[in-house]
């Protein structure tokens, strides 16, 4: 990589911090004034795991009024309503960079509205993702699987399918679905039960592919589980993902509280 004083004329220079939440990884771009032009081509190049830095998406840190706005883009450059793992990484960055005090609570603005963030005593971060409700059954198809799935809106559109075995399913290709069911695309979670309130999950995220974790997906899974078992609220669910473990608590109002780790790992500069 070129050093900063040898960047070719006209090249795009983007400082970033890389972080992850249960190995769902993001590039954080500190841009309070919203002046950095993060177009789809640039984001795709930055997120490329072979020719770029590599990430599941980009989190731009933008100041809007009296709140911080998380401008989240998937790895293909498409905008997303919100991101549960991304909000925790975003909050970790705000605290570690000195933008906020990591005590108590923080409000983060997203395309899905304002989310309440809590810095927990155990070092993890909890996010109130709002009301998450399971809806009707739809059909999805993967390369080697056709099944029914529960449609859930957890800020992003999800289809949750309970299967007998996770290892045998190929998630390397995008799922097929009826565009009338999901006009803006869909994230698909495949789930196996490990206990009454304990599941294991794999996910294919729209605009990215299979990822190591999905926070809004974990919330969608918890909502689908609750719709099936009708447990009294509040109810806590453990969701194991390839990158670790997330805890989702559904409160009496139907809000999903997503709790898990968030870490910053690399600081650098991208030269495009």
State the Cα angle at 212 between 207 and 215, rounded to 5°. Answer: 75
Place of tokens 């859930």: 152
Is the CB of residue 73 less than 8 Å from the CB of residue 80?
A: yes
N-term to C-term CA, the chain = 11
Q: Which two tokens stand for residue 263?
A: 């870490």
Could you count the other beta carbons within 10 Å of the beta carbon of residue 169? Answer: 18
The residues annotated with a catalytic role in the active site are: 83, 214
Q: Which two tokens stand for residue 242?
A: 């390839």
């Amino acid at each position: 990589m070129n050093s900063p004083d040898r960047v070719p004329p006209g090249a795009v220079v983007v400082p970033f911090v890389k972080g992850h939440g249960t190995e769902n990884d993001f590039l954080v771009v500190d841009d309070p004034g919203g002046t950095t032009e993060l177009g789809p081509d640039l984001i795709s190049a930055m997120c490329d795991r072979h020719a770029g830095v590599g990430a599941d998406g980009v989190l731009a840190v933008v100041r809007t009024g009296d709140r911080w706005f998380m401008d989240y883009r998937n790895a293909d450059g498409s905008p997303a309503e919100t991101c549960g793992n991304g909000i925790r990484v975003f909050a970790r960055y705000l605290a570690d960079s000195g933008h906020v005090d990591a005590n108590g609570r923080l409000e983060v603005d997203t395309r899905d509205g304002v989310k309440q963030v809590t810095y927990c005593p155990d070092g993890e971060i909890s996010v109130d993702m709002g009301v998450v409700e399971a809806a009707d059954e739809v059909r999805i198809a993967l390369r080697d699987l056709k099944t029914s799935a529960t449609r859930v809106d957890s800020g992003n559109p999800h289809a949750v399918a309970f299967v007998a075995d996770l290892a045998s399913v190929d998630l390397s290709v995008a799922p097929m679905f009826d565009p009338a069911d999901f006009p803006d695309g869909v994230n698909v979670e495949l789930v196996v039960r490990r206990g009454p309130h304990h599941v294991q999950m794999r996910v294919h995220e729209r605009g990215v592919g299979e990822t190591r974790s999905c926070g809004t997906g974990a919330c969608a899974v918890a909502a689908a589980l609750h719709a099936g078992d009708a447990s009294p609220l509040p109810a806590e669910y453990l969701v194991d993902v390839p990158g670790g473990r997330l805890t989702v608590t559904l409160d009496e109002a139907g809000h999903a509280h997503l709790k898990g780790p968030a870490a910053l790992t690399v600081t650098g500069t991208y030269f495009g």
